[in-house]
Amino acid sequence: IVMRLPEALERLPLDDLLFDPDEIDDIVISRLPDSAMFAARFRECSARALLLPRRRPDQRTPLWQQRQRAADLLNVAAKYPTFPMLLEATRECVNDVFDLPALRSVMSDLRSRKVRMVAVDTDQASPFAQSLLFSWIAVYMYEGDAPIAERRAAALALDRELLRDVLGAEELRELLDAEVLADLEFELQLLVDGRRARDADELHDVLRRLGPLNRLDLEARSVDGAPVDAWVRSLLEERRAIEVRIADDDRIVASDDAARLRDAVGVALPVGLPAVFTDPVDDPLGDLCRRYARTHGPFHARDVARWLGISETRSAGALERLVSDGDLLRGEFRPGGTEREFCDDDVLRQLRRRSLASLRREIEPVEGDALARFLPAWQGIGSRRRGVNAVAEAVAQMQGAAIAASVIERDVLAARVNGYRSSDLDELCTSGEVVWVGAGSLGATDGRIRLVYRDQVGLLIPDIDEPSDDPTHEAIRMHLRERGASFWPDLVAAVQAVGLPYGSDAVHTSLWDLVWAGEVTNDSLAPVRSLISVSKSASAPKPGRARGRRARPRVGGLTAQGPPSAVGRWSLVEPLRRSVPSPTERSLAQAHQLLDRYGILTRETALAEGVSGGFAGVYPVLKALEERGEVRRGYFVAGLGAAQFALPGAVDRLRAVRQVEQAEAPIVLAATDPAQPYGAAVAWPESQGRPARSAGAHVVLIDGDPIVLVERGGRSLVTFPGAAETDAWIEAVQGLVKNGRLAKLEIA
């Protein structure tokens, strides 16, 4: 695919390139008449059909003259949607030139995240793109073959039904639900509770909506025990309705339809009817056919003929005209039918939507182990991606999640990026693209942090409830607020300037209090890594240390610029929140982020994420997204409640892993990894121990089942029922020791 972008457009809009796989055929066919390729194919088809004759058989016609004649022919042919050359040119483009099945497959994989799209800026086109570019230039040379705007608009009037026959497209008959159709027809005919008439005024509305009805029909569309005869007499006396005879049946008709029935069917109108009801209308039979279509499911021409008492030939002609005008659709719609039917576009849309909803309800939910197989694949666990771009993609999906600093790089990002390097994340932080914000301490040397893109801080980082009023905290705040980003010596001087204790320990402790509270951040993660390494080094024996010698207390080791856990530039998070979003904007951003991270969002997932306001805080937004068709609601995972929302591609991918086709290799995840659902969305299996999602613990999963849980530091091992059935987990646990994630582990 080759595209031309305006020079003012600096960035490729990747999101705009993702189409719904179900709509790609219609999109391509609707845009095809605008292309130079269509004009060229039309010229070739017309020449093969001898519609562009030569002036002399022994001479070739110049190409410019062929294009001119083909353009003239296209100008005339565009007025006839069934013209064979239009259909053949479209068929050649769609079937012979384009590979639409492959495009649909790619779009489906992009939607389900089996395939990822990455933008790459290069100075020159790749060898593969060079061939596309050459072909594009060859076609673009003849862009003059494309018809003018009016001609293009006429070409869009292709007979889609005939085109389906040519292309071999499937019909909807096998996709629509018969029970859904029956229920919808009852609603359209006002035969369900809540839609029946309760007084004479509502009975008049029934007549205006449905058209001519006899008294039995009116009784069926009125509430039980209603005085329908009295209502009808009232409407007749007030001249709001009239009684006429249609198809040997006495019907009650709203006076508004008097002229239509007179001109279309030839009924005799009563004397004395006001002139406003007898003035001619432009298309009386067409109006009645449109009304019939709006209030019925798929139907035949003979149904309209029977309703109005006219010939089937006449009703068929009126319906065909409405189809050509785009007011009605024709196809194989009714389940179990054998003929093509007519249908209103809005009715068919409702029928498709409800049939899909019915199908969704019939599909059984998957079990928790399927979710545990789905999440690692959805979040790219074990991906071959590498480099700073891979880290950026992983952060984009994980942003806003509060994860222990001791595991966020070693376990979480390393599981998603092949050959993960800390320098890649530092590059994103120092460039200002990514910010890390504290989310609560976990002891003296660890805590939770959130990685988030700078422009998303106000949307995804929760507000601070009650800032500390500690004097040292306030001194650091005031200095950063007035002076901006500062180094460690500047902070110490600021504390000293207000007469407070300015020793390294005191300032260091106060600084990290503000960090874990989410008020202060750094342009690098180096201080966090240094703080974490203090706890590791403190618990490990130092080689060559004298037994009776006391170590001098140090804050992670002092340097000329202060403790290693205080290096870099410190700044307030507050300026990043200056554009305060509304609660709705924040809820929308959180909902989109959670859906992007998990694919399927449940109440348990929202609670585990600590979403502000809980699941109720994002539920209204999720409901609105469902109404817009951006997400689907259903019962996808058993045991997680009825209120589950999912991205369309996520549902298909979740169901694809319902059954294990072949044994998978063990997956080792941090217990707190968002891709590990046990202990959060899914309950732990029964075991002798007390498993928990604690920082530093690791879980071994095989085919979505938890096998063992290694607690922090390898202090203990919790086994689950699956551990007795396989010993594949032993090698996975040994890998934790080999790669340094565990110092030592003994299994008796």
The residues, ordered by sequence, that sit 6+ positions from 508 with a Cβ below 8 Å of its Cβ are 555, 562, 563, 565, 566
Distance CA 60, CA 210 (A): 63
**Non-local CB neighbours of 463 within 8 Å, separated by 6+ positions:** 577
pTM: 0.59
Task: Give the residue, 664 or 231, on which the prediction is more confident.
Answer: 231
Whether residue 409 has pLDDT greater than 60? yes
- β-pair partners for 251: 244
Of the candidates 410, 293, 397, 290, the one whose C-alpha atom is nearest the C-alpha of residue 341 is 293
What's the pLDDT score for residue 364? 74
First CA to last CA distance, the chain: 60
Provide the pLDDT for residue 135.
63
Confidence band, pLDDT 50/70/90 cuts, at residue 301: very high
- Per cent of the chain over pLDDT 70 is 85
How many other CB atoms are there within 10 angstroms of residue 225's CB atom?
6
According to the model, what pLDDT value does residue 552 have?
36
3-state SS of 242-275 is EEEEECCEEEEEEHHHHHHHHHHCCCCCCCCCCH
Cβ neighbours of 416 (radius 10 Å)? 23
Position 616 scores a pLDDT of: 87
Long-range contacts of 128-135 (CB under 8 A, 24+ apart): 129/2, 132/1, 132/2, 133/2
**DSSP letters for 645-658:** EE-HHHHHHHHHTS
User: 291 pLDDT exceeds 80?
Assistant: yes
pLDDT in tens, 492-544: 999 888 888 777 788 999 999 999 999 999 999 999 999 988 655 444 434 34
pLDDT tens digits for range 692-709: 888 889 999 998 899 999
Of 520, 542, 523, 533, give the one whose Cα is nearest residue 565. 533
pLDDT score for 255: 92
Other residues' Cβ atoms within 10 Å of the Cβ of residue 420: 21
What pLDDT score was predicted for residue 624?
86
Contacts of 618 by beta carbon, 8 Å cutoff, 6+ apart: 587, 590, 591, 594, 601, 606, 611
Residue 317 CB neighbour total at 10 angstroms: 13
> What single letter denotes the amino acid at residue 464?
I
Order of strands, sheet of 403-404, starting from the edge strand that comes earlier in the sequence = 403-404, 447-453, 434-441
**What DSSP character marks residue 94?**
I
Q: Is the pLDDT of residue 247 over 70?
A: yes
DSSP readout, 450-480? EEEEGGGHHHHSPPPSS----HHHHHHHHHH
Quickly state the pLDDT bin for 401 (edges 50, 70, 90). very high
Over residues 320-366, the pLDDT tens digits come to 999 988 889 888 888 888 888 999 989 988 888 888 777 666 567 88
Residue 366: closest CA among 626, 639, 663: 639
| Alpha-carbon separation of residue 696 from 412, 422, 676, 693 (angstroms) | 11, 19, 14, 9
Is pLDDT at 19 greater than 80 in this prediction? no
Q: 450 - beta bridge partners?
A: 437
Looking at residue 165, what is its pLDDT?
Answer: 54
| pLDDT of 14 over the 70 cut | no
> Residue 729's pLDDT band (boundaries 50, 70, 90)?
confident
**Whole-angstrom distance, CA of residue 406 vs CA of residue 413:** 12
**What value does the mean pLDDT take over residues 51-67?**
71
d(CA 299, CA 682): 49
Residue closest to 377 by CA, chosen among 652, 697, 77, 9: 652
Q: What's the CA gap between 661 and 403, in Å, rounded?
A: 33
Q: Give 540-592 pLDDT, tens digit per residue.
A: 434 344 333 333 334 444 444 678 888 989 999 999 887 777 888 888 999 99
pLDDT of residue 592: 93
The residue assigned the tokens 């110490």 is: 492
- The residue written with tokens 């497959």 in the block is 105
As a whole number, mean pLDDT of residues 189-213 equals 92
Per-residue pLDDT, 30: 78
Q: Is 90 exceeded by the pLDDT of residue 480?
A: yes
| Percent of the chain whose predicted confidence (pLDDT) is above 90 | 36
Output the pLDDT for position 537: 47
Give the model's pLDDT for residue 149. 36
Residue 556: the pLDDT is 44
Domains of the chain plus CATH, in order, are: 14-167 (no CATH), 178-362 (no CATH), 370-537+556-577 (no CATH), 583-656 (1.10.10), 667-738 (no CATH)
Mean of all residue pLDDT scores within the chain: 82
Cα-based torsion angle of the residue sequence 4, 7, 11, 12 in order, rounded to the nearest 10 degrees:
-10
Q: Which residues contact 47 (CB under 8 A, 6 or more apart)?
A: 66, 70
pLDDT range class, residue 3, cuts 50, 70, 90: low
Token pair, residue 107, equals 């779009």
* Higher local confidence (pLDDT), 372 or 613: 372
* Residue 6 pLDDT: 58
Q: What is the DSSP letter of 334?
A: S
| Reduced 3-state DSSP string for 299-316 | ECHHHHHHHHCCCHHHHH
Q: What pLDDT sits at residue 601?
A: 93
Among candidate residues 221, 214, 292, 209, the one with its CA nearest the CA of residue 250: 214
| 165-169-171 Cα angle (round to 5) | 95
Amino acid making up residue 298 = P
Q: What is the pLDDT of residues 139-175, one digit of tens each?
A: 555 544 433 333 333 333 455 555 555 554 445 677 7
Both tokens assigned to 324: 């050509």
Angle at 630 between CA 612 and CA 112, to 5 degrees: 100
pLDDT tens-digit map of 597-636: 999 999 989 888 888 888 888 899 998 888 777 888 888 8
**Angle subtended by helix axes 388-398 and 583-598, to nearest 10:** 120
The residue that leads in pLDDT, 663 or 223, is 223
Mean pLDDT lowest among 55-69, 616-630, 673-687? 55-69
pLDDT of residue 360: 61
At 729, the amino acid letter reads W
Give burial (CB, 10 Å; 0-12/13-18/19+) of 219: middle
DSSP annotation string for 575-637: GGG-SPPPHHHHHHHHHHHHHHHHSEE-HHHHHHHT-TTHHHHHHHHHHHHHHTTSSEEE--B
Predicted confidence at residue 66, as pLDDT, reads 74
Q: Can you tell me the distance from the alpha carbon of 591 to that of 617, in angstroms, rounded to the nearest whole number?
A: 9
How would you label 582-613 residue by residue, b for 16+ Cβ within 10 Å and e otherwise? eeeebbbbbbbbbbbbbbbbbbbbbebbebee
Higher pLDDT, 728 or 478: 478
Q: What number of residues does the chain have?
A: 748
In this predicted model, which residue has the larger pLDDT, 435 or 716? 435
By CB neighbour count within 10 A (0-12 exposed, 13-18 middle, 19+ buried), where does 279 fall?
exposed
Rounded distance, CA 708 to CA 730, Å? 9
| pLDDT at res. 335 | 86
CB burial of residue 148 (10 Å; 0-12, 13-18, 19+):
exposed
Binning pLDDT at 50, 70 and 90, where does residue 230 land?
very high
